[in-house]
Structure 1
Amino acid sequence: MTEILRPDAAGIAHAAELLRAGELVAFGTETVYGLGADATQARAVACIFEAKGRPHFNPLICHYPDAESAFAHVEANPAARRLAEAFWPGPLTLVLPRRVTCPVALLAGAGLETLAVRVPAQADTLALLRVVGRPVAAPSANRSGQVSPTTAAHVLEGLGGRIAAVLDSGPCPVGVESSVLDLTGPRPFLLRPGGATCEAIEAVVGPVGRGITPAAAQAARTLRSPGLMVSHYAPTLPVRLAAQDVAADEALLAFGPPLPGAGAVFQLSAAGNLTEAAANLFTGLRALDAEGQIQGLRGIAVMAVPESGLGLAINDRLQRASAPRS
């Protein structure tokens, strides 16, 4: 049963308590309703993908109550600070390099070295973020492929019974997602048009690159952030899928009882739980890649993961990790 919470002090406090406990809570912003989870808890982030039925582990936008909270977790260049001063709180998301000390779960950023961050312009949501005291990862609060929700009723139509609560802040005034701007390259690049116009952005930082179509993005099948496809994190060691045995000079990414004989083992889920496996996926790939290189292992063998539920997204990511290097 999904609770409907009023955006008063008691409702916000209860929503924050649920988020800190690893539950999913939808909340209104000026753009659309977001499906929030504590971004520092990988298991909670995995539940977002499970609830939405997402076929891929797309990077998620992390929401903060103010710019300095966001910039504590990402490396802000001068352009980012000018944009934050001009647009935050507001419908602009910035993609920036993660700090080494960033506590956000790797799954929230789809294993990348970058993070998408924004400060929403909605008083109830800002109050919630301040009470939570942690970044909140939140894509739109709808089932994957469906229309983005702009009211609490829309959220319940698609996610009722799948999430803990909805903080009902009324209709969203903007009604389209935030613009997403990548600041990690030689010049700013608009990954997704949205609530902040390109003209307004260019008035602050000068010319902005753009022009990748959704079709071209989907063809690449590798997501850098919401709105664009480029390379996901891939291990240095080659990855072998659906392993039924493992050699002493291989690392093993295990799902369920591990195969014997590996040089190093990382367990996605001993119980064969797909949500737990999703939460551990990127951490496991990185850990085995690092340990394998230290030991001089020749590759990473991956045990089979079922093609159902979150297994579809796990296998999609593993297939791309195992693809031939260009």
Structure 2
Amino acid sequence: MDTKRWSVDKNVDNLTGYPQITQAADLLLNNEVVAFPTETVYGLGANALNDQAVAKIFEAKGRPADNPLIIHIADEEVVSDFVEEIPEKAKQLMKAYWPGPLTIILKMKEGVLSEKATVGLSTVGIRMPDHPVALALLQSTNLPIAAPSANSSGRPSPTTAEHVWDDLHGKISGIVDGGPTGVGLESTVLDCTEEVPVILRPGGITAQQIEEVIGEITVDPALLDSGQKPKSPGMKYRHYAPDAALVLVKGEREDIQRLILEKQQEGLKVGVLTTEENESFYQADKVIACGSRENLESVAGSLYDTLRNFNSADLDLILSEMFPDEGVGQAIMNRLVKAAGYRVISL
């Protein structure tokens, strides 16, 4: 398959009439699959009303068939077309954080959206992305677009069009290149079908920000304990993983350096995921600083690119420092724990 690629300047005031957007929208209207930027990561979009279109997403990514897709929209008014009701708390969150990196799960109307997108569930996750290219594409199609991250299943999510190209060229119809994404981690997923809403995936909107708007929420226990059955089907799969084995390490940097030397003496090539504060301290085969501990948003924005960069070093093992499990740090740790397959060493 020939994968078309268009470059679009996201700073243009009105993109809806641009030929690149029109060409990409035409592919979506013809039930093809197109990757596009959002403020979180690049998404792999298809017509959420058509089973054949949605099936192409699963085929291109190699995505498990029981892992539901988030539906992207450009206008809050259309939410009622797809769901039975919009609880007051959900309305408050839409007003506060849409467009933005928040996916809200609601009870779905039957027979409207593709069953392949919702994998037979009675609920659906919907969000409005905060990116001019994504919104222009959605407006141009006037369709709900099902869109997971535009990467091969299990690999780090893409934050540049080049990441998408590396994983999916020849497998999808097009890539809209709108430059690097901003947040760098996927949206927060909040189940609003419960009386007390539940975070199923931490992301760009923190638990504290949600509580400021609607009060009490809870967190799915499976986020904290790998032995718990996850509420969302997709949470049971390993995600975001680099090629080499990734292990999270609790301990002081001196202890981590000793572990590096031990593993090197065993004949392993070792990489270290750290931050700017400790980059010059470690002696390893590959050391990459992922943002600054003084600014966890910078860590979030760099995380997937950092995980992908380790793949060029032919490593056997990557040791990662831990991060505070609060604010956006909760989302960072969620992604690292999943990428490591829950492997954590305490020194």
- The interval holding the TM-score normalised by the smaller chain is 0.5 to 0.7
For the residue of structure 2 that corresponds to 1:43, the secondary structure is helix
**Residue 24 (structure 1) aligns with:** 33
1:153 corresponds in structure 2 to 162
**What is the CA RMSD across the aligned residues, in angstroms?**
1.9
Are residue 172 (structure 1) and residue 181 (structure 2) matched? yes
Note the residue ranges of structure 1 that are not aligned, 5 or more in a row: 230-326
User: 1:276-325 deviations in whole A, cap 9, x for unaligned?
Assistant: xxxxxxxxxxxxxxxxxxxxxxxxxxxxxxxxxxxxxxxxxxxxxxxxxx
Aligned to 1:94: 104
8 Å contact kept, 2:36–2:176: yes
Within 5 Å, give how 1:64-143 maps onto structure 2: 64-74=73-83, 75-100=85-110, 103-143=112-152
Residue 225 of structure 1 and its aligned partner are, at CA, apart by 5.8
2:21 counterpart of 1:12: yes
What residue in structure 2 maps to residue 210 of structure 1? 219
Post-superposition offset of 1:211: 4.2
Aligned mates of 2:165, 2:78 — CA distance in 1: 30
1:77: how far off? 1.0
Contact 2:200-2:232 at 8 Å conserved across structures: no
CA drift of 1:6 comes to 2.7
Q: Which amino acid aligns with 2:150?
A: A
Q: How many pairs does the alignment contain?
A: 227
| d(CA) in 2 for partners of 1:123, 1:148 | 20
Gaps of 5+ in 2: 9-14, 238-347
TM-score normalised according to structure 1 size: 0.66
- 8 Å CA contact 2:82–2:112 kept in 1: the answer is yes
Q: Quote the offset at 1:122 in angstroms.
A: 0.3
Closer/same/farther in 2, CA of residues 211 and 57 from structure 1, 3 Å limit: closer
The percentage of aligned residue pairs carrying the same residue is: 44
Q: 1:80 is matched by which residue type in structure 2?
A: A
- Which among 30, 41, 46 is matched to residue 37 of structure 1? 46
> Given residue 114 of structure 1, which amino acid in structure 2 is its aligned partner?
T
Shift of residue 215 of structure 1? 8.0
* Aligned twin of 1:240: none
Q: Counterpart of 2:193 in structure 1: which amino acid? A: T
Query: CA offset at residue 67 of structure 1?
Result: 1.2
For the residue of structure 2 that corresponds to 1:4, the secondary structure is strand
CA distance in 2, matches of 1:200, 1:103: 32
Counterpart contact for 1:192–1:228, Cα < 8 Å: no
Q: 1:30·1:122 contact (CA, 8 Å) conserved in 2?
A: yes
Partner SS for 1:36: strand
Query: CA deviation digits over 1:96-142, x for unaligned, max 9?
Result: 01124x62101101111111000000011111101111100000000
